[in-house]
């Protein structure tokens, strides 16, 4: 079990950074939401649930699942098609308390010699097509995440599946009809890897705009 992060650190992150992706997400079709797994830091479920004035157990059952790793179980957004917090315009409906790794994406990480190193994911069109926006994430999101000081063991656990693109329809079948909080193994996750998920492109080349 991972050491829980104090809620004030999550509050501080959201004061320091809010991921403004302009209209890039709409133009790429929200492919990270379709193919990637959204992981919550230790204590983040409790923080978001409290902010939404929802009992933690109800919040977990409605919105989360778990992935079992050798380091512990990681809370993740519900392993079924469609993010439970995304509206049809690809905007987050809980923006003020958005899941940290979702808010900061395309920031990604790797653990080397017990140290967490952050970078930007080339799979995301922000990095490939909008360098001025990518620079904002690099300069503001990375320091904000570092200030949360999440346990290295948690990063090691998430690193075991964070880079995968998955088929959520296959994952949903592995739930065997369960709609509450379900725990899947790494083996089950890897069985649902989507090998046909190329880096997404933008749907048109007209000037991007800040729509926040």
Domain boundaries, the chain: 22-190
Q: What is the pLDDT of residue 30?
A: 83
- pLDDT tens digits for 50-93? 999 999 999 999 999 999 999 999 999 999 898 889 888 778 99
CA atoms of 23 and 15, how far apart (whole Å): 22
Measured in degrees and rounded to the nearest 5, phi and psi for residue 2 equal -85, 150
Angle at 76 between CA 164 and CA 23, to 5 degrees: 70
- pLDDT tens digits for 137-157? 999 999 999 999 999 999 999
Q: What is the pLDDT of residue 207?
A: 56
What's the full length of the chain, in residues? 212
């Amino acid at each position: 079990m991972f050491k829980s992060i104090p809620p004030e650190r999550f509050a501080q992150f959201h004061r320091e950074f809010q991921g403004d992706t302009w209209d890039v997400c709409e133009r790429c079709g929200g492919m990270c939401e379709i193919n990637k797994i959204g992981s919550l830091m230790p204590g983040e479920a409790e923080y978001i649930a409290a902010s939404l004035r929802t009992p933690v157990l109800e919040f977990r059952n409605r919105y989360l699942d778990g992935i079992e790793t050798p380091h512990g179980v990681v809370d993740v957004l519900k392993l079924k098609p469609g993010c439970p917090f995304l509206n049809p315009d690809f905007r987050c409906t809980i923006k003020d308390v958005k899941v940290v790794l979702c808010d900061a994406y395309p920031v990604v990480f790797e653990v080397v010699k017990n140290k967490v190193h952050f970078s930007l994911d080339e799979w995301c069109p922000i990095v490939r097509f909008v360098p001025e926006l990518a620079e904002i994430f690099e300069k503001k999101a990375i320091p904000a995440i570092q200030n949360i000081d999440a346990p290295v063991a948690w990063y090691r656990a998430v690193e075991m599946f964070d880079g995968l693109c998955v088929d959520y329809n296959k994952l949903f079948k592995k739930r065997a009809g369960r709609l509450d909080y379900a725990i899947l193994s790494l083996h089950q996750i890897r069985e649902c890897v989507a090998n046909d998920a190329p880096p997404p492109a933008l749907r048109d080349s007209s000037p991007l705009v800040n729509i926040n």
